[in-house]
Amino acid sequence: MMVSTLSVLEQTRHVMCRSLLFGIIAMLFGHAYASVEYTDATVRAWSDAHFIQALEEHRFSGAVVSVVQDGKIVFSKGYGYADYNQKTAIDPETTQFRIGSTTKTFTATAIAQLMDRGLIRSLDDPANLYLKRDKLPSVNGRDITLRDLVTHRGGFANRTFNIGSDQELSLPLSAKIVQSHRPNIVRPVTDRAVYSNYATTMLGVIIEDITGTRIDEYFDQYIFSPLGMSRSVLNVTSKPMPQLAQSYAFLPDGSTQAIPYWRVNPFFAPAGAINSTAIDMAQYMIAHLNGGRDGVSALTIKPATFDLMHNRIADNHPAVQGFGMIFMTMQWAGRTGFGHGGDWPGFHSIMWMFPEDNAGVFISIMAERPDVPLSDSLVGADYLTPQSNTPVMTPLTNIGALVSFLKNFYGEDTPTYAPGRLNIDDLVGDYRQEYRAYDTVEAFLDFLNGPLAMVSVRKAGDDKIMINEQGPYQQISSGVFWNGDLESGIDGTFTNSALWAFKWDEQDSRYYITPRLSINPFVKVAFWDNPKTYANTLMVALPILLTALFAIFWKRPEGKKSHTMKWIIFSLPIVFLMIPASLFFGYGDHSSFLEHFILGKTSHFIAAIVFANLFLLLTIVVVVGTVQSWRYMYDGHTIRAGIKRVHLSLISLAAMAASLFLWFYNFIGINLP
């Protein structure tokens, strides 16, 4: 059939009009992004630039990268060494890395499988419907659901103590062991998500209770084997696998410190105990990116259930990272991504996928700050002196690697500006992290972590704030603050963030703030609940308390045969100093505070608690003695006696302030972690 020229022109005009109309709609209601094509050359250029110089700067001892797209592995490479001292090469196919909390996504995958097999009816079912070895308590009359567990909204306190173990424990664990690890519930089940290793672990317990299969065997049978992940294992044994890489930290003089192998406590295995290779993780990403849409998913999960896993269910603010089923989800430069990171001493991994490009990246880095005995730091050991010919820079991080990757392939993230503003005066103050222990001496870690445990917000002009003295951050929408110059660098952490978001909590009647790449909020604290209050008080009190050592030189009052009180006063600072001494000294050459903490060894904590309670007892005696010294004027009415009583009063006040510090961090009483 012949078509007239006029007809052709008319059709062309209609096509152009439709294209123009669709273009206007796209500009008004959304953005069209060209698909990013990954090649061996483009990924290698980024990867070499990120890792080669960093290796020369002793930022890590070994790392591995794999990238997939359209169902294929387009790049894989190792950097540094599987064993730096032995100069053992890294093989992306065979060298195992500890992927830490990225393991949680495998637990989520198993839960999704049980949903599609009909063994779990709904995420809104109470967790207790499926638990046999333990039952979770209700919160304000409300059952904790599976949805609460997969989105970290169960309200549990954090517990890191004993997350590792050197005891031989076989799976499945007894009901007694499962019950012994339950932390207290410290907040109502709300929309606020606070990361919880325990929540994911209980999902692992549910998998075992439903199927009657050990969690490591379940992973092997239903995930590893179907995907051809032959070199991956959920390692619940006390021995490292032969193919596992050895991580090192670099000391200031350029020498190495081997990071000890600490086994993940078998209870927490579903939250962080997988060893895998870059190639195996590539196969895992391909399966999740496929999402069952070709009808032959080896994971036997339906497309709708994959979507439930990957798409946002909960968050602390729409502008920051949120959760699907365990998988974290976030927008960057208009693109949605999902994945998870993982950290274990010596290993820092991250997996992130981009469904619009059908692509994903897995990175695992062996890097760590050295564990230096406090005694060596105090005396200035030779190995702590930097050498000019062996620069040792701060370690690489998984967060820094992901941000570098995102910037390289998708460009700088551009925030969305929107109307609406919060009153900055209401936001100013100090915020304390919620990912912490609440009721044991483990809370003392917040004091040691310093800035990482707190966020300080102050006003910096109209619609601007400073966060931890960095900024200024500009408010770009209601409660969302932005400064693109403060994006995380290669050694960045969660709190190195270009974006922070505030949200009002109706139940707590206070604001909380969350950085973009973290799902852990910081909650605004009042004066009496602020760690800074007690730290500053201690800084003032401690020098005064130390002057109690001079009590030994006090003269005995006239007519007194003994002066027991001066010995009690003299002992006050000694007993107080024994608390940190108990925690940080006396470990020997092959042990440390960190090891005892991770492996759950309590001896040093028991000693610290004993000294803390003894200090409180002595404080009470001294305070009573101080009151009596003024009431009865034991030392007479001379100027010298008056000075002595004033000094005694100051010591009493300092001791009370130090006792408040110990109470705040749960050293008073018996609050073992």
pLDDT in tens, 35-87: 899 999 999 999 999 999 999 999 999 999 999 999 999 999 999 999 999 99
**Pair 125, 147: CB distance under 8 Å:** no
Cβ-based burial of 139 (10 A; exposed 0-12, middle 13-18, buried ≥19): middle
Distance in angstroms (rounded) separating the CA atoms of residues 539 and 563: 30
Per-residue pLDDT, 35: 83
More confident residue, 29 or 136: 136
pLDDT band with cut points at 50, 70 and 90 for residue 639 = confident
SS3 state of residue 600: coil
Distance in angstroms (rounded) separating the CA atoms of residues 90 and 83: 8
Of 151, 146, 157, the closest CA to residue 183 belongs to 157
Tell me which DSSP letter residue 490 carries: T
**Pair 392, 252: CB distance under 8 Å:** yes
Cβ partners under 8 Å of residue 506, min gap 6: none
Phi, psi for residue 522 in degrees, rounded to 5: -110, 130
Per-residue pLDDT, 6: 31
**Pair 496, 488: CB distance under 8 Å:** yes
SS3 state of residue 302: coil
Per-residue pLDDT, 148: 96
pLDDT (tens digit per residue) in 542-557: 999 999 999 888 776 5
The pLDDT of residue 9 is above 70 = no
Cβ partners under 8 Å of residue 583, min gap 6: 444, 593, 604, 605, 608
Amino acid identity of 626?
A: T
Per-residue pLDDT, 631: 87
**Pair 463, 469: CB distance under 8 Å:** no
Paired strand residues for 73: 68
Distance in angstroms (rounded) separating the CA atoms of residues 438 and 445: 11
Per-residue pLDDT, 8: 31
pLDDT (tens digit per residue) in 310-353: 999 999 999 999 999 999 999 999 899 999 999 999 999 999 99
Per-residue pLDDT, 34: 67
Distance in angstroms (rounded) separating the CA atoms of residues 129 and 142: 14
pLDDT band with cut points at 50, 70 and 90 for residue 20 = very low
Cβ partners under 8 Å of residue 344, min gap 6: 98, 100, 262, 264, 272
pLDDT band with cut points at 50, 70 and 90 for residue 372 = confident
More confident residue, 286 or 566: 286
Q: What are the residue ranges of helices labelled H in 181-277? A: 197-211, 215-219, 225-227, 269-272
**Pair 511, 455: CB distance under 8 Å:** no
pLDDT (tens digit per residue) in 489-498: 999 888 899 9
Distance in angstroms (rounded) separating the CA atoms of residues 114 and 602: 38
> Ramachandran region of residue 128, left (φ > 0), alpha (ψ -120 to 50) or beta?
alpha
pLDDT (tens digit per residue) in 569-594: 999 999 999 999 999 988 877 788 99
pLDDT (tens digit per residue) in 422-467: 999 999 999 999 999 999 999 998 888 876 789 999 999 889 999 9
State percent of the chain over pLDDT 70: 93
Mean pLDDT lowest among 6-20, 46-60, 221-235, 493-507 = 6-20
When pLDDT is averaged across residues 353-382 and rounded to a whole number, the result is 88
Tell me which DSSP letter residue 315 carries: E
Q: What is the largest CA-CA distance in the chain?
A: 130
pLDDT band with cut points at 50, 70 and 90 for residue 560 = low
Per-residue pLDDT, 597: 93
Residue 464 structure tokens: 């601007």
Mean pLDDT lowest among 15-24, 44-53, 421-430, 648-657 = 15-24
> Ramachandran region of residue 176, left (φ > 0), alpha (ψ -120 to 50) or beta?
alpha
Amino acid identity of 122?
A: S
Per-residue pLDDT, 33: 58
In terms of average pLDDT, the best of 16-20, 181-185, 292-296, 374-378 is 181-185
Of 478, 337, 494, 355, the closest CA to residue 419 belongs to 478
Per-residue pLDDT, 15: 34
The pLDDT of residue 561 is above 70 = no
**Pair 521, 510: CB distance under 8 Å:** no
Distance in angstroms (rounded) separating the CA atoms of residues 308 and 303: 9
Q: In whole numbers, what is the pLDDT of the chain averaged over residues?
A: 90
User: What element of type H or E holds 308?
Assistant: helix 303-310
State percent of the chain over pLDDT 90: 76
Phi, psi for residue 614 in degrees, rounded to 5: -65, -40
Per-residue pLDDT, 3: 35
Alpha-carbon 125 to chain mean position: 28
Of 452, 451, 447, the closest CA to residue 584 belongs to 447
Going through 251-346 in order, the beta strands assigned E by DSSP cover: 256-258, 274-276, 314-315, 322-323, 328-332, 335-344
pLDDT band with cut points at 50, 70 and 90 for residue 558 = low
Dihedral sign (CA 218, 223, 229, 235): negative
pTM: predicted TM-score of the whole model, two decimal places: 0.91
Per-residue pLDDT, 606: 96
Alpha-carbon 49 to chain mean position: 27
The pLDDT of residue 22 is above 80 = no
Per-residue pLDDT, 14: 39
pLDDT (tens digit per residue) in 100-136: 999 999 999 999 999 999 999 999 999 999 999 999 9
Residue 322 structure tokens: 């949120």
Phi, psi for residue 66 in degrees, rounded to 5: -140, 140
Residue 528 structure tokens: 């009496």
When pLDDT is averaged across residues 226-245 and rounded to a whole number, the result is 94
Per-residue pLDDT, 296: 61
The pLDDT of residue 672 is above 60 = yes
C-alpha distances in Å from residue 285, one per residue of 94, 191, 329, 338? 17, 29, 15, 11
Per-residue pLDDT, 23: 37
Per-residue pLDDT, 5: 32
Per-residue pLDDT, 557: 59
